[in-house]
A and B are shown apart, each in its own frame.
Chain A
Amino acid sequence: MKQRVYLTFSEATVREPIIWKLAREFDVITNIRTAEVKEHMGLVGLEIEGEQDIVDAALAWLVQQDVHVEPIEQNVIEG
Chain B
Amino acid sequence: MSESIVRALKCRECGQEYDIAPVHVCEFCFGPLEVAYDYDKLQGKFTRELIESRPQTMWRYKELLPIDNDPTVGAQNGFTPLVRAKNLEKVLGVSELYIKNDSVCYPTLSFKDRVVSVALSKAVEFGFTTVACASTGNLAGSVAANAAAAGLESYVFIPHDLEQGKVLGAGIFGTKIIGIRGKYDDVNRLCSEVAGKYGWAFVNVNVRPFYAEGSKSLGYEVMEQLGWKAPKHIVVPMASGSLCTKVDKSIKEFIKLGLIEDNGTAVYGAQATGCSPIAKSVKEGTDLIHPVIADTIAKSLAIGNPADGYYANRVINESGGWAEDISDQEVIDAMKLLAETEGIFAETAGGVTLGCAKKMIESGKLPRDESIVLCITGNGLKTQEAIADEIDKPRIIDASLKEFDVLAKADGVENI
Which residue among A4, A8, A78 has the maximum number of chain B CB atoms within 10 Å of its CB?
Answer: A78
Q: Given B29, B204, B212, B243, which contacts A33 in the complex, CB threshold below 8 Å?
A: B29
CA of A45 to CA of B205 in the docked complex: distance in angstroms?
Answer: 18
A15 to chain B, nearest CB (A): 15
Establish whether residues B288 and A36, one from each chain, have CB atoms under 8 Å apart when the complex forms.
yes
Establish whether residues B243 and A78, one from each chain, have CB atoms under 8 Å apart when the complex forms.
yes
A33-45 CB contact bits vs B (8 Å, 1 = yes)?
A: 1101010110101
CA of A4 to CA of B25 in the docked complex: distance in angstroms?
Answer: 10
Using CB atoms, name the residue of chain B closest to A10.
B290
Q: Given A36, A75, A79, which contacts B133 in the complex, CB threshold below 8 Å?
A: A79
Q: Chain A residues with Cβ under 8 A from B208's Cβ?
A: 76-77
Q: Chain A residues with Cβ under 8 A from B288's Cβ?
A: 36, 38, 40-41, 43
Q: Chain A residues with Cβ under 8 A from B296's Cβ?
A: none
Q: A4-B25, A45-B30 are in contact. Are A76 and B205 (CB under 8 A)?
A: yes
Q: Which of A1-26 contact B (CB under 8 A)?
A: 4, 6, 8, 10
Q: Which of A42-79 contact B (CB under 8 A)?
A: 43, 45, 68, 70-79
Using CB atoms, name the residue of chain B closest to A5.
B30
B240 at interface by CB-CB < 8 Å: yes
How many chain A residues touch B (CB < 8 A): the figure is 23
Establish whether residues A34 and B134, one from each chain, have CB atoms under 8 Å apart when the complex forms.
no
Q: Chain B residues with Cβ under 8 A from A72's Cβ?
A: 25, 30
CA of A71 to CA of B239 in the docked complex: distance in angstroms?
Answer: 19
Using CB atoms, name the residue of chain A closest to B30.
A45
Q: Given A33, A41, A68, which contacts B305 in the complex, CB threshold below 8 Å?
A: A68
B193-216 CB contact bits vs A (8 Å, 1 = yes)?
A: 101100000101100100110000
B31 at interface by CB-CB < 8 Å: yes
Establish whether residues A8 and B290, one from each chain, have CB atoms under 8 Å apart when the complex forms.
yes
Q: A43-B288, A68-B291 are in contact. Are A79 and B30 (CB under 8 A)?
A: no
Q: Chain B residues with Cβ under 8 A from A76's Cβ?
A: 134, 188, 191-192, 202, 204-205, 208, 240, 307
Q: A43-B288, A68-B305 are in contact. Are A34 and B242 (CB under 8 A)?
A: no
Using CB atoms, name the residue of chain A closest to B13.
A34
Which residue among A6, A71, A72, A76 has the maximum number of chain B CB atoms within 10 Å of its CB?
Answer: A76
Establish whether residues A77 and B192, one from each chain, have CB atoms under 8 Å apart when the complex forms.
no
B277-312 CB contact bits vs A (8 Å, 1 = yes)?
A: 000000000101011000000001101011110000
Which of B84-92, B135-143, B340-348 lies at the interface? B135-143
Establish whether residues A74 and B189, one from each chain, have CB atoms under 8 Å apart when the complex forms.
yes
B11 to chain A, nearest CB (A): 11
Q: A68-B305, A76-B307, A77-B208 are in contact. Are A41 and B25 (CB under 8 A)?
A: no
Sample 15 A-B pairs with CB under 8 A, ordered by A number: A8-B305, A34-B13, A38-B286, A40-B288, A41-B288, A70-B305, A73-B25, A73-B192, A76-B191, A76-B307, A78-B300, A79-B136, A79-B137, A79-B139, A79-B303
Given A45-B29, A75-B305, 16 additional A-B pairs, CB 8 A: A4-B30, A34-B30, A36-B288, A71-B189, A73-B205, A74-B188, A74-B191, A76-B204, A77-B204, A77-B240, A78-B204, A78-B303, A79-B133, A79-B138, A79-B139, A79-B204
